[in-house]
Structure 1
Amino acid sequence: MKILDRYILTTFVKTFFPLFVIIMFILLLQTIWLFISELAGKDLDFSVILKFLTFATPRLIPMVLPLTILLTSIMIFGNFAENYEFAAMKSSGISLQRAMRTLSVFIFFVGIGAFLFSNTVIPSSEKRFINLRKNIVKVKPAMVITPNQFNDLGDINIKVAEKYGDNDEFLRDVIIHKKAARPGNFTVIKAVGGELKGNINSDLITLILNDGNYYDEIQQNSPQKRNRLPFAKTHFKKYVLNIDLSSLGNVDMDEQQYSKGYNMLNVNELQDQIDTLSIQVNSDMKNMTVEVDRRIGFDGLNKNIKIVDSLPKTSNDTLHIRDYFNTLKKVQIYQIASSTADGVIRKLNSTQKNLSFKRRALNKYEMSLHDKFALGISCILLFFVGAPLGAIIRKGGLGLPIVIGVVLFLTYHFIGIFAKNSAEEGGIPPFVGSWLSTCIVFPLSIFLTYRATTDQGIFNLDTFIQPIKNFFAKRSSKTKK
């Protein structure tokens, strides 16, 4: 490696690592602020908090690494141009392409490392991070009854619409699902209000429910009786429920229960999961079609009917049943048709919701797969945006380069967010959602690199101003004549 290449690479690395640490520290503080409600009031050990920060750090790399490369490139090449080091290189016969060659190789390996990191380290850390958050929630669960969502407390799942009072001890619109040995929610308790009593730091919580109903589904052995969905209902003015939380006192922070999230899988696992979800979606579509055809009698519509060519054709497809049946039969036919239509509509609505959920999950898995490849490519392209841009603006340091770099990256980042949100809802293909921002940066990198290597500015104002000057010059000359 020549002295010039070593100097450029050393200067880049010396700026890259401190800037990387600073940006990572800022985003870690933001992460702590986002999850402060899950950490506050838990009396967690320092080791648990350290694990939380350690597992949260890799998930920030897809945002920190491209931003650091962009800012470092602008700052370093801006310093070279501002201090006339590029002028000295050009006078020695060294072009901008030659000066960028060593760093281009370095950034290429950084891009490969970013892909490997996103394929191995990030899924593992994300798995541990999600499980650690789930385990932290179990610590003092009486303090984290979040309104408008089900909370797992001992042997019940509880949902409340609102908590109020000095210590949030009063509850409004309480719904409780009691756990049982058999899977499913067979016992449901609904109450207008409730109150938590006792020491919330103890292992026993007393929940007093007011003005509610107790629903218990009755299990039947006969299929005919089971289809009627029998249940027992009991109204109460006051119901006392003791919740034993002693089993939740000893929480294993290293327990791993969740491992199938779209951010927890590598490339091979994502491809398997995508194939599985695709088969399920196609199967659900096929089953829905078969079920609807069966309910409306489509399969047997033309069964045992012989088509006779001599029959007169009619343009009216409406069947007037009043001409063939009496009043009682008409009522029965209308009731059957109405019941069948309602069943088909319910089937279509439920299938649509299920397919919408699975398609959204499928889009997330596909975007996660493409994001692993897009990360490395974006690092390389942002270098070819920042390096020529720094050489063009000829300004280094922490002033103008930081402003320009942050504006460019925020534009790149927000385009990616909007594209991914649209792809998640099915507005655009997942492939486009992951690659749109990178595809926009690609022509920009070519344009800036070309302008910088040909010693041109970002925009040549003379191209627009000179025709105007010529026009007014001709006008003035004609006026003098």
Structure 2
Amino acid sequence: MKILDRYILSTFLKTFFPLFFIIMFILLLQTIWLFISELAGKDLDFSVIIKFLTFATPRLIPMVLPLTILLTSIMIFGSFAENYEFAAMKSSGISLQRAMRTLAVFIFFVGIGAFLFSNTVIPSSEKRFINLRKNIVKVKPAMVIAPNQFNDLGDINIKVAEKYGDNDQFLRDIIIHKKAAKPGNFTVIKAVDGELRGSTDSDLITLILKDGNYYDEIQQRSPQRRKKIPFAKTHFEKYLLNIDLSSLDNVDMDAQQYRKGYNMLNVNELRHEIDTLSDRVNKDFESVIDNIEKRNGLKELNKNIKIDTLPKATKDSLDLKDYFDTKQKVQIYKLAFSNADGVIRQINSTQSTTTALKRALNKYEMSLHDKYALGVACIILFFVGAPLGAIIRKGGMGLPIVIGVVLFLTYHFIGIFAKNSAEEGGIPPFIGSWLSTFIIFPLSIFLTRRATTDQGIFNFDNFVQPVKDFFVKRFSKEEK
């Protein structure tokens, strides 16, 4: 390696690593802020918090690494241009492409490393991160009660409209479903207000309910009695419910129960999962079509009838008045309505199921493409930042940081909007993962070409000069 190549590479790395750790630290603080409700007030060991931060760090690499490459490229090449180091290189016969060659090779290997990292380290850390969050939640189940949704707490399912108080111990508009040996919600408790009381020395948590009703469904064999007395209702002003949490005290923070998330799989596992979901969607469609054909009898319609012997119909609709009496007509219409209603219900049910499956399938496909797109994005963003720094001829932490952040935010938001659209099926998952990279690729070619020919981003003379020439000719004619 020549002295010039070593100088450019060392200058790049001296800026790259500090900037990488600064950006990582900022985003890690944001992650802590997002999950502070899951960590605060749970008396967690310091080792558990360190594990949480360690497992959360790799998931930030897809944002930190491209941004660091873009900002470092702009800053370094802007500094070279500002200090006339590029001018010295060009006077010695060294072009911009020659100066970028060593860094381009380095960034190429960084891109390969980014793919390998996203294929191995990120799925493993994501799996541990999700499972650690689930295990932390079990440490203090009282904090699991989220408003406006059912929460599993001991032997009950509880839903509250609002939590308030210094420690969120007061509840409002409470609905409780007590678990039973048989599947089903046979006991329901509703209350206007409630309060959670517990002690660190006890395995029991007391739920005090105020001004509510206790509903208990009566299990009767006779349908007639069940209609007369479907349930028993008891009103109470105050009701105490003790919840045993002893089974949740000893929580293993290293337990791994969740393994099938789209961010937890590598390339081979993602492809297998995509094939499985695709086959399932196709089988659901085939099953619905087969069931509908069996229900309406299309397959069996012409088996025992010769079409040539049937009289030619004069109307498109079927008229039953010449073949059946009134009672038979009513039965036929009821049967047709029942079949049509069943088909519609089956289609709607299958549609909702396949919509959820397709959404999951889109996520798995985007996760697969994201692993390849990360490495390619690192390479392309280098070819955006390096020529852009040479064009603006400004290094340091001022203008290059502003331009780099604006470019990266544009790139990042385009990717977010594309992925959201792809998840809902608006565009293919392939486009959702690669759209921002496809948009930034022509910009890298344009900037590299402009920087190579020593031109600015825009040549304003091409717009201003024709206007000047027009007015000069106009005034010269008037003077003559």
2:39 is aligned with 1:74: no
**209-218 vs 441-450, which moves further:** 209-218
- Normalised to the residue count of structure 2, the TM-score between the two structures is 0.92
**Alpha-carbon separation, structure 2, partners of 1:347 and 1:296:** 13
| Aligned counterpart, 1:352 | 351
> 1:240 Cα shift?
5.4
Tell me which moved more, 187-196 or 258-267.
187-196
Q: 15-24 or 332-341, which moves further after superposition?
A: 332-341
Paired residues for 1:80-99 under 5 Å: 80-99=80-99
Provide the residue aligned with 2:216 in structure 1: 214
2:148 touches 2:161 (CA, 8 Å); kept in 1?
yes
Judge which range, 331-340 or 236-245, deviates more. Answer: 236-245
The change in CA–CA distance for 1:92 and 1:160 in structure 2 (over 3 A counts) is same
What's the CA shift for 1:258?
0.1
| TM-score, normalised via structure 1 length | 0.92
In the TM superposition, what whole-angstrom CA distance separates every residue of 1:278-302 from its partner, at most 9, and x where no partner exists?
0000000111111222223333333
Tell me the residue number matched to 1:301.
301
How many Å apart are 1:36 and its aligned residue?
Answer: 1.1
Kindly indicate whether the alpha-carbon contact (under 8 Å) linking 2:156 and 2:176 is maintained by their aligned counterparts in 1: no
196-205 vs 143-152, which moves further: 196-205
Deviations, residues 248-273 of structure 1 (Å, cap 9, x unaligned): 01111111000000000000000000
Secondary structure of the structure 2 residue equivalent to 1:158:
strand
Deviation track 1:126-167 (CA, whole Å, cap 9, x = no partner) reads 000000000011011012211122322223333333335664
User: How big is the shift at 1:171?
Assistant: 3.8
Q: Find the counterpart in structure 1 of residue 233 from structure 2.
A: 235
What CA distance in whole angstroms lies between the structure 2 residues aligned with 1:92 and 1:124?
50
Distance 1:219-1:121 versus aligned 2 partners, 3 A rule: farther
Name 1:149's counterpart in structure 2.
Answer: 149
Separation (CA, whole Å) in 1 of partners of 2:147 and 2:396:
49
Alignment partner, residue 26 of structure 1: 26
Q: CA deviation at 1:115?
A: 0.3
Instruction: Judge which range, 405-414 or 139-148, deviates more.
Output: 139-148
Aligned position for 1:391: 390
Match of 1:366 in 2: 365
What is the CA RMSD across the aligned residues, in angstroms? 2.4
C-alpha contact 1:147 1:163 (8 A) present in aligned 2: yes
**Offset at residue 479 of structure 1 (A):** 2.0
3-state SS in 1 of match to 2:198: coil
Percentage identity across paired residues of the two chains: 73
1:211 partner letter: N
> Who is 2:3 aligned against?
3
Q: Tell me which amino acid in the other structure corresponds to 2:63.
A: M
- Note if contact 1:156-1:179 (Cα within 8 Å) is conserved in structure 2: no
SS of the equivalent of 2:422 reads helix
One-letter code aligned to 1:55? F
Q: Deviations over 1:386-405 (max 9, x none)?
A: 00000000001111000000
- Distance (Å, rounded) in 2 between the aligned partners of 1:218 and 1:66: 66
Alignment of 1:159-308 (within 5 A): 159-164=159-164, 167-176=168-177, 178=179, 180=181, 185=184, 187=186, 189-193=188-192, 195-199=194-198, 201=200, 202-207=202-207, 210-215=212-217, 233-238=231-236, 241-308=241-308
Secondary structure, counterpart of 2:307 in structure 1: coil
Q: Which runs of 5+ in 2 are unaligned?
A: none
Report SS of the residue matched to 1:255.
Answer: coil
CA contact (8 A) 1:384 1:449 kept: yes
Do the aligned partners of residues 177 and 263 (structure 1) sit closer, same or farther apart at CA in structure 2, a change above 3 Å counting?
farther
Counterpart residue type for residue 384 of structure 1? F
Change (3 A) 1:6 1:216: farther
2:327 corresponds in structure 1 to: 328
Paired amino acid for 1:237:
H
SS in 2 for 1:308: helix
CA distance in 2, matches of 1:464, 1:252: 69
Name the residue aligned to 1:44: 44
2:198 maps to a residue whose letter is: N
Aligned residue number for residue 440 of structure 2: 441
Counterparts of 1:70 and 1:57, CA distance in 2: 20
